[in-house]
Structure 1
Amino acid sequence: MVLDTTPGTTRLRALRPDLLLCGAVLAAILLVQGWNTAGFPALSDDEGTYLAQAWAVQEGKGLAHYTYWYDHPPLGWLQLALVTWLPAALFPDVMSVAPMRIAMLLVTAVSAVLLYVLARRLGLRRWAAALAMALFGLSPLAVVLQREIFLDNIAVLWILLAFCLAASPRRHLWHHFGAGLAAGVAVLTKETMLVVLPALLVTMWRHTHRDTRKFAVTGAITACVLTGLAYPLFALLNHELFPGDGHVSLLGGIKYQMGRAGSGFILDGGSGAHAVLRSWLYYDRVLPLAGLAAAILLLAAARWSHTARTLAGPATAVVILALVALRPSGYLPAMYVIQLLPFLALTVAGAASIQPLRRLRSGGPGAEPLEETGRGGAGANPTHPRRPALLRRAAALTLAVTAAAVVTPHWYDATRTALTTDANAPYRAAAHWLRERGNVPDPSRTRVLADDAIWLDLVHAGYRPGTGAVWFYKADLDPAIAKTMPRGWRDVDYVVASPTVRRDAPTLPLVKAALTNSETVASFGEGDGRIEIRKVTRAGAR
């Protein structure tokens, strides 16, 4: 038999262990995240908004299902529209939040593979790269948040691609230009990715050739800036860059976002930010705390550890994102931790792969580690030939067993909830009730205030998009919708009083009045998570 020793075959054989290991971890991630994805967590208004905006793009109705007001760059849901285009074309009635979560599995799969590639390019061994990938996709925080239709999940994919290109071992200039382009797309997908860009530059600086470093970094920054400028250019061409009467504006949207009520200091027990932190730690205490500690350790150890130096970029990202979360003012959303997850996973895996015993053998800081050789090799120690290696393996095994014993019970309990709890049964029951002609004889002539989590269900049931099925915020905040309701709350027939509607109604006069002047005709679920369908009792004749 003649063996095929072509470079392609040799490269494939060298990659086979990585492909098998990465594939096995990926299969576990997809199984866990895909199981019961439509049932848990509970649908959120943000998910419904992004999917409704993607639906508007698919249907040719513009950049949003209502007036687009520059709250976020539209590139995120433009990509979402591409991801959900095929299932929406084949099964139009399935275009609603719960079933469309399946599209996020594709985003998670690509992100997890990119994380493995990045870990290997940063010099981590296979087991450490697999550990980073598993932490990223199997942490209960990931199982809950990566299922949801959030722009942050799509942005993480692009920033990981940027880091992979920045750490390319070939060091081609176009790789670094591509890294800048991918970083620009990440920012236009979710603008909070701006704070990660310094960490990307750290990684790029370490992985560029000294002779071409200035060109590579300059090219990457130029590509990123030019990509980002597409957003204000779009606003300028639409005469919506600056505030003015009768139109929305980019600067007006930025002013609103910067002026939002803050969540308070994250360590203040009574603040909203602290409540968000508690929700993160409820699902997973290990990854956030261990990841932050590992990032600090890696930055401190960069002087003597090659592994720590190569992971300086991800460690910097963790520290920057943590400092932003710790600022005493500003708004801290629950999905903020999504962009931390890949870097937390990388730093934990990187810190676990540091071998301090090699440093002791090699003579202190800055020295290269000695090679381990077999019995009788040139570098063998005749007195204790294998003791350092055995000590390292025993210490690593002890540490791994201890970590597994601490982490597994908590992760099991949190993940079991995600795999077995159906938190969205009330939403499905409410949507079914509103579809039944015995309950609502003519949806096309009925106006319902509801949150965006159920908005697309109402549209598929025959309610008019925008004016029949009304996203409840718009009844008070969008002049175009207010014009369709000259009598205010009396022009409303039903209110779907979900937890989101009940929470925000006190700040919305029309919605509050509609709830006050209505009675419950159907209720689904219990406690704070219940959904009530309330019929307005004094709407008057049309």
Structure 2
Amino acid sequence: MAQHSPSRAAHRLLSLDILLALLALAGGLRVLFLAAPEPAWPAEAANVAHAYALAHLTSFTGTGGAGVSPFGWLQLSAWTMVTDASGRSATALVAVRETMLAAGVAGVVLVWFLGRRLGLTRWAAAASALLLAASPLALGLQRLVVVEHLAAVWVLGALVLITRPDARIRHDVVASGCLLAAVLTSPLALFFLPVAGWLLVRRAPVRAALVAVLLNLGLGIAFGPAAGALRPHLALPGRPSLADWLALDPAWAVLAAVALPAALAVTALRPFAVSGLLLAATLLVPGVPATAVLALLLPVTPLLVAGIVQAVVRQRAPAHRVDTARPRRAGFAAALAAITVASWGFAFPVLQPSADRAGPLTGAQEWLRANASGARLLVDDAAWAELAHAGWPTGMLTSPAACAAGCPSAEWAVFTGDPAGPAPDGASATAVFGTGGRRVTVWRLGLPPADPAVPPEAPARARAGASLLASARITAAPDAAAVLREGRADPRLIATLAALAALQPVRIAAFPEVPGEDPAGQPRRRVLLTGEEDAATTFYTGQRALFRPSSVTRTDGGVLVTYPLFAPPGLLGPAS
């Protein structure tokens, strides 16, 4: 016995080294791609908002269609509070995504242990964990705040306990609690009950009955008297679709398609193959989100692939025949691994993190703070979480779902995503940040409808701007002249520049853009003047009523004059 102790200790140290290397790889890659903007899932915003609201003991009413998981949201908020992720992170999204990072790393560890419990060699278990740690599909999917990732960790924990060689009753009781937690997090976790029951019956039928009783008792309470507070519901299907995800990692798609049915031929893997096939079949059911299904399938596939490859490589020829095919099988396994890793090189650029880690919502927050501070806002899920994280009073943030039964009227609306329909009644797009699915639009609500009898103002601004440029007393830089010529200058600036030119020569250095307003079609309402700066400052600070600027600032480049939003109509009447 003593002779084997050093060898056993060396094996344990090697296993520890492999596990630590996998942890470092899984954690490092997930930190690197934590802020990748694409692919995006709309339901993620609702999960972030609910988790943020729970962590800060406030209420939130989602916009609907994003799924319900009270227990999942509780887990997200608990991690956020314990780790102070909100205090350390620039955005609410990144704060809650830290939970997914921890869940992803935990999943890699549990897959390693589960593989070893199922009879995989040290290197086969390491290969399965590596596939989960470094797959572009896993990195792209596991960064999203999807409660099914938490359910997968609970399921893996239960299966690791169930497959424990020296399992006691206490281990089975904890395993039943893990399975209950998984189902309460996501109803899709029900598809893993067959594999848990199968493994329990293989080991000890009496203990399987005990776990079944405990699990049914918990589910009866959760889906019965406590259904209003605990029952989860799936999110509505939408983009990214199954094809979007599989395009991110075609190698995983091929391996999964082969491994799921092939694993039925391997005794140790057969329970997992059955549950995996049942779960994969839900992808054909209308109304089931592919993102949620793939989140639960991700940890299963690496185990099946590694187990099948190990079984193929270990096939033995009959005793009377020399096994000449084994080197070829080993070479095939190595070639398969090389092709899989090579295919990942085409997928990683898709997950390229954005250079702007803050994102368009940060620009919208700054714009609102400067132009609508203290106003009541109508917001969607993503805007609610980020504005609340930035310090906007949650009592002044209202979602459309909360207003269904009536609520105080909002002055502004902030919505994310590419607008799919016409603008709301009495709304004007005032600022736009980002493009496509990351677009954030700020709307001014409650504006009177435009009078069709009044001619559009843009041509009048262009004619008045051209008149200014024709004056010998006005000198404009090329970019500033283009703004005047194209009718993109605020009419109050045009009028006051004309008045100032009657008193002294005017040199216009620029009409600086207010970030977000040009894409919304708003005229430039800032001007930078050089030369005779004292006189220009006195002129603009002395303006009254409609022509009084919101600020007049001396800068290194000259005098910066800024007007508030929305010039009154008719200021350029003669030019109209």
Give the alignment's TM-score, normalised by structure 1.
Answer: 0.74
Supply the distance in 2 between the matched residues of 1:471 and 1:23 (Cα, whole angstroms).
45
> Which of these residues, 249, 260, 264, is aligned with residue 295 of structure 1?
260
Change (3 A) 1:71 1:395: closer
> Which of these residues, 53, 58, 82, is aligned with residue 86 of structure 1?
82
> Which of these residues, 2, 12, 17, is aligned with residue 15 of structure 1?
12
User: 1:408 and 2:341 equivalent?
Assistant: yes
Report what 1:373 is aligned to.
none
Report what 1:228 is aligned to.
219
Report what 2:70 is aligned to.
74
Supply the distance in 2 between the matched residues of 1:432 and 1:41 (Cα, whole angstroms).
22
Change (3 A) 1:184 1:37: same
- Superposed CA deviations along residues 157-187 of structure 1, whole A, max 9, x for unmatched, are 0000011111111142332232222111111
Change (3 A) 1:362 1:164: farther
Report what 2:210 is aligned to.
219
Q: 1:146: Cα distance to partner?
A: 0.6
> Which of these residues, 320, 323, 344, is aligned with residue 281 of structure 2?
323
User: 1:163 and 2:120 equivalent?
Assistant: no
Letter in 1 for 2:330: A
Pairing 1:140-155 to 2, within 5 Å after superposition: 140-155=136-151
Supply the distance in 2 between the matched residues of 1:427 and 1:290 (Cα, whole angstroms).
37
Q: 1:106: Cα distance to partner?
A: 1.3
- Superposed CA deviations along residues 183-219 of structure 1, whole A, max 9, x for unmatched, are 111111112211221122122233x1xxxx2211111
SS state at 1:101 partner: helix
Supply the distance in 2 between the matched residues of 1:27 and 1:461 (Cα, whole angstroms).
32
Q: 1:34: Cα distance to partner?
A: 0.9
Pairing 1:74-223 to 2, within 5 Å after superposition: 74-88=70-84, 91=87, 94=90, 96-206=92-202, 208=203, 213-223=204-214
Q: Contact conserved, 2:383 with 2:415, CA < 8 A, in 1?
A: no
User: 1:280 and 2:245 equivalent?
Assistant: yes
* Higher RCO structure (Cα 8 Å, ≥6 apart): 1
Change (3 A) 1:61 1:5: farther
Change (3 A) 1:429 1:85: closer
Give the alignment's TM-score, normalised by structure 2.
Answer: 0.70
Which structure's residues are more often helix, by fraction?
Answer: 1
Q: Contact conserved, 2:361 with 2:440, CA < 8 A, in 1?
A: no
Q: 1:132: Cα distance to partner?
A: 1.0
RMSD between aligned alpha carbons? 3.4
Letter in 2 for 1:163: L
Letter in 2 for 1:60: L
Q: Contact conserved, 1:448 with 1:493, CA < 8 A, in 2?
A: yes
Deviates more, 1:517-526 or 1:192-201: 517-526
Change (3 A) 1:149 1:402: closer
Change (3 A) 1:473 1:134: farther
Report what 1:52 is aligned to.
49
Deviates more, 1:81-90 or 1:193-202: 81-90
Letter in 1 for 2:45: G
Report what 2:297 is aligned to.
340
Supply the distance in 1 between the matched residues of 2:142 and 2:411 (Cα, whole angstroms).
36
> Which of these residues, 305, 309, 333, is aligned with residue 399 of structure 1?
333
Report what 1:25 is aligned to.
22
Q: 1:20: Cα distance to partner?
A: 1.0
Change (3 A) 1:297 1:36: closer
Structure 2 gap segments, 5+ residues each: 450-576
Supply the distance in 2 between the matched residues of 1:39 and 1:414 (Cα, whole angstroms).
13
Change (3 A) 1:539 1:14: farther
- Superposed CA deviations along residues 304-355 of structure 1, whole A, max 9, x for unmatched, are xxxx11111221121111122223x333342321000111111111111113
> Which of these residues, 394, 415, 430, is aligned with residue 497 of structure 1?
415
Supply the distance in 2 between the matched residues of 1:58 and 1:420 (Cα, whole angstroms).
27
Supply the distance in 2 between the matched residues of 1:356 and 1:138 (Cα, whole angstroms).
23
- Superposed CA deviations along residues 267-321 of structure 1, whole A, max 9, x for unmatched, are xxxxx69x7121121111222331232121121x2xxxxxx11111221121111
Supply the distance in 1 between the matched residues of 2:364 and 2:118 (Cα, whole angstroms).
49
Q: 1:35: Cα distance to partner?
A: 0.4
Supply the distance in 1 between the matched residues of 2:334 and 2:352 (Cα, whole angstroms).
26
Report what 1:352 is aligned to.
309
Q: 1:422: Cα distance to partner?
A: 4.7
Deviates more, 1:190-199 or 1:50-59: 50-59
- Superposed CA deviations along residues 413-460 of structure 1, whole A, max 9, x for unmatched, are 212332444586543443433453x222x32xx122222223122124
Report what 1:518 is aligned to.
427
Supply the distance in 2 between the matched residues of 1:434 and 1:138 (Cα, whole angstroms).
39
Deviates more, 1:115-124 or 1:46-55: 46-55
Supply the distance in 1 between the matched residues of 2:352 and 2:157 (Cα, whole angstroms).
30
SS state at 2:382 partner: coil
Change (3 A) 1:182 1:316: same
Change (3 A) 1:417 1:531: same
Question: Across the two proteins, how many residue pairs are aligned to each other?
Answer: 449
Name the % identity: 25
Change (3 A) 1:391 1:142: same
Q: Contact conserved, 2:272 with 2:300, CA < 8 A, in 1?
A: yes
Change (3 A) 1:31 1:69: closer
Report what 1:439 is aligned to.
371
- Superposed CA deviations along residues 86-145 of structure 1, whole A, max 9, x for unmatched, are 343772875611243223221111111011000000001111111111111221111011
Q: 1:12: Cα distance to partner?
A: 5.0
Q: Contact conserved, 2:103 with 2:153, CA < 8 A, in 1?
A: yes
- Superposed CA deviations along residues 369-389 of structure 1, whole A, max 9, x for unmatched, are xxxxxxxxxxxxxxx9xx63x
Q: Contact conserved, 1:73 with 1:191, CA < 8 A, in 2?
A: no
Supply the distance in 2 between the matched residues of 1:297 and 1:362 (Cα, whole angstroms).
26
Q: 1:473: Cα distance to partner?
A: 3.8
Supply the distance in 1 between the matched residues of 2:314 and 2:113 (Cα, whole angstroms).
27
Larger radius of gyration: 2
Supply the distance in 1 between the matched residues of 2:439 and 2:86 (Cα, whole angstroms).
32
Structure 1 gap segments, 5+ residues each: 236-240, 242-248, 264-271, 302-307, 364-383, 486-490, 507-511
Supply the distance in 2 between the matched residues of 1:110 and 1:71 (Cα, whole angstroms).
24
Letter in 1 for 2:272: P
